[in-house]
Amino acid sequence: MESLTELEQLALAAPINLADGHPRQALTSGQRLIIDRLPELFDSAEAETLDRLEERVQRTFFDALGQCGAPMGDGRVFSLYSSSVATTVLATCLSRRRARVALIHPTFDNIHDLLSGAVPLVPISEAALAEADPGGLGRDGATCVFVTTPNNPTGRWLGRDQLERLACACAAAGLLLCLDTSFRGFDPRTQFDTYEVLEGSGAEYVVIEDTGKLWPVSELKLSFVAVSRGMREEFGHAVRDVLLSVSPLVLRLVEELAIDGAGGGFARLHELIARNRAATAAAIDGLRGVAMPDPDARVSVCRLRFASGPEADRVRRELAAAGVHVLPGRQFHWAHPEQGDRDLRLAVARSPHVLDEALRRLRVVAARQSPVEEAIR
Amino acid sequence: MESLTELEQLALAAPINLADGHPRQALTSGQRLIIDRLPELFDSAEAETLDRLEERVQRTFFDALGQCGAPMGDGRVFSLYSSSVATTVLATCLSRRRARVALIHPTFDNIHDLLSGAVPLVPISEAALAEADPGGLGRDGATCVFVTTPNNPTGRWLGRDQLERLACACAAAGLLLCLDTSFRGFDPRTQFDTYEVLEGSGAEYVVIEDTGKLWPVSELKLSFVAVSRGMREEFGHAVRDVLLSVSPLVLRLVEELAIDGAGGGFARLHELIARNRAATAAAIDGLRGVAMPDPDARVSVCRLRFASGPEADRVRRELAAAGVHVLPGRQFHWAHPEQGDRDLRLAVARSPHVLDEALRRLRVVAARQSPVEEAIR
């Protein structure tokens, strides 16, 4: 089975790419002004010490997303090239401590692929995580729980109370709690102070924060990883095998974009995603056998559910033939691919006119049911 | 033992940092003009398809360093964030094929650290590699040979004939040949067409090329990994777990810097490094018990050898107290740390006035022999 990123790569050259979850909408006027200042940001980044720059940028980004309790200034927030590189570093740590990981199911397959080379994985459902059933977590012998929240592709997230229960259950059972919050920026409901909850629980934790999904700035991005006191040495050592420092210029860029975000940029982003999710709902309105299974989600990816696996597959192939690339659902369900058979995933961090044209073609293709499907009905 | 990158990190905030091998000299006027065009490069990168941009940039960079035979256009050159990320991806591949790796000794410790978590390693000396003794390679049951050429910290490199013998020996014995050529740009003697040699040998290969050591552009860099036909699927699949694409803007930046390099920028870089190596030699001239063990090297790092391990250690500590950070030799000798006891490594990709001030302090510290050392003599 091809990985999702391999399928995304085919779509990079496609006329309309709704495959990858990277931000591909047009720059806002505020973001444009920041890009125009890149040479100035280059100079200002070089003019101060890296320590000072890095800590200030991290604080600005975390504060902009409500994460005021993050352990800045204590050597417990690390900057990396991307969330995937952060996951790679985490995999190294997990391998060294011979962890057994209960990994959220479904989720984006590269999280599974990066971890599975290092440690044994057992699936844990979004429902079980929301219930924070410590017995369930321990039953499979897991020593670590990994949660993507908000999740990709479902948009499901842990609320404050749910996270608190899960973190306390992990603390009680001695489990390491790992969170990937790359999609946090899209959903204000997930922007309560995660670190206050985590520090209060006493759990050991690793949180992978990410700037990469938010701003369409030519893949210039960072991942910030915040860890509990007990993980500092272990994670820090693994980080230093991979990099000495990230780019000071990219740090400055992230700082400016976070300031712009807090000053209205995030609100505009949320409007764009809400508008595009609504347009997607409108496009399938009245089509038999197509639904949006996650109506409450706010992330920049959106699932569609079809009447059958073959029908979802037909739509995906015919859409590709019509120049529109989307992702299949199977690979997200890394332990039980058949559970994703009926789903397609659309990336909606796109300019409205791009998305609307893709949706127009989707409507045509989805309405054109195959003779076999017709016969089955 | 602290890793070299951990020691480098302490030096990032130091008054004079000769610890890390990253380029920290002032921008040339040509490079300054390119940085001033970053907003324009951002737009031009967005205006073309990634495939086309990536292939053209790779070709420009490889051609600028004499690598005209690299397998561009055949899906066998991958762009990654950095050479360390490339090494991480390679480690995944090596782990999956259960390789046993003969790794060059000494070399920069993060290569060892990244590989050792994935596969067993046996040391192979620079001399044995230069002789390409296939019996020696096979004796330890190695299935892969990993060579840094030019090497860090010694500057030793494989010439064309040596590489040909080694590659043919690997082909005959069925060994995968991996090269890290991150320092190639400093030494024209290593800029013969490596790929013509490798393809002609029939060996399976992975070559990690790197832009990160050459240009002082705020850590904006890429690693390009070129592989043999038989490694394409395997390596490509592992790459796709880590990233979808690098930054189009950084690709454009690398293109402009490579064009500037080929048009005189590399010659200026070579002059700077030669000047700084000569200044280092002059600074230790007349000092008893200090030598430069690699007089023929041209890379941007430079070893000094002291009369004893304790003396090298004293100089390093007193230099640090005087505000100058350099690296110890032990960690490079990952299998036999004691072989590096007498060495220090100075990074010389620095502006002349910065290096000269560091050398002035070095001369003072090195001349101030400790009472114990005096007593021993």
Q: Hey, is the C-beta of A110 within 8 angstroms of any chain B C-beta?
A: yes
The residue that leads in pLDDT, A23 or A15, is A23
Of B347, B307, B308, B306, the closest CA to residue B324 belongs to B347
B377 burial via Cβ count (<10 Å: 0-12, 13-18, 19+): exposed
Confidence band for A372, pLDDT divided at 50, 70 and 90: low
Which residue did the predictor score with more confidence, B59 or A5? B59
List the single residue in B39, B45, B88 with the smallest CB-CB distance to A88.
B88
Of A9, A85, A248, the CB nearest to B240: A9
Pairing of strands B77-80, B223-227: antiparallel
Give this complex's ipTM.
0.94
Instruction: Name which of A50-54, A311-315, A316-320, B372-376 the model is least confident about.
Output: B372-376
pLDDT at A1: 74
pLDDT in tens, A233-255: 999 999 999 999 999 999 999 99
Kindly state the DSSP code that residue A339 receives in the 8-state scheme. Answer: G
- % of chain B exceeding 90 in pLDDT: 89
pLDDT at A173 over 80: yes
> Which residue of chain B comes nearest to A246, CA vs CA?
B219
Residue A310: how many CA atoms within 13 Å on its side-chain side? Answer: 9
Query: Chain A within 8 Å of B343 (Cβ-Cβ)?
Result: no
- pLDDT exceeds 80 at position A286: yes
| The model's pTM | 0.95
pLDDT, residue B372, reads 54
Residues A192 and A181: beta-carbon distance below 8 Å? no
Cα–Cα distance between B262 and B26 in angstroms, integer?
19
pLDDT digits (tens, 9 = 90+) for A41-99: 999 999 999 999 999 999 999 999 999 999 998 999 999 999 999 999 999 999 999 99
For B98, nearest residue in chain A (alpha carbons): A117
A26 touches chain B (CB under 8 A): no
Check CB contact under 8 Å for B81 and A81. Answer: yes
Domains of chain A as residue ranges with CATH: 4-27+264-370 (3.90.1150.10), 40-259 (3.40.640.10)
pLDDT tier at B370 (50, 70, 90 boundaries)? Answer: low
Q: Please, what is the average pLDDT of chain A?
A: 94
Question: Nearest CA to CA, how far is B112 from chain A (Å)?
Answer: 9
The pLDDT of residue B377 is above 50: no
Chain B residue with minimal CA distance to A220? Answer: B247
When pLDDT is cut at 50, 70 and 90, the band that residue A9 belongs to is confident
Q: Position A189: which residue type? A: R
pLDDT above 50 for A370: yes
Selected for mutation to probe chain B from A49, A218, A249 (highest B CB count within 10 Å) is A218
Position with higher pLDDT, B98 vs A375 = B98
The CA distance from A115 to the nearest CA of chain B, in Å, is 10
Residue found under tokens 């985590």: A198
The string of pLDDT tens digits covering residues B40-96 is 999 999 999 999 999 999 999 999 999 999 999 899 999 999 999 999 999 999 999
What order of strands is seen across the sheet that includes strand A290-291?
A: A290-291, A301-306, A343-347, A327-328
- Show the DSSP H helices in chain B as ranges: 4-11, 29-36, 38-46, 50-64, 83-96, 109-116, 126-131, 134-139, 160-173, 194-201, 232-242, 248-260, 266-284, 309-321, 352-367, 371-376
Sign of CA dihedral A134, A139, A142, A148: negative
- What is the per-residue pLDDT for B58? 98
What does the pLDDT read at residue A2?
A: 79
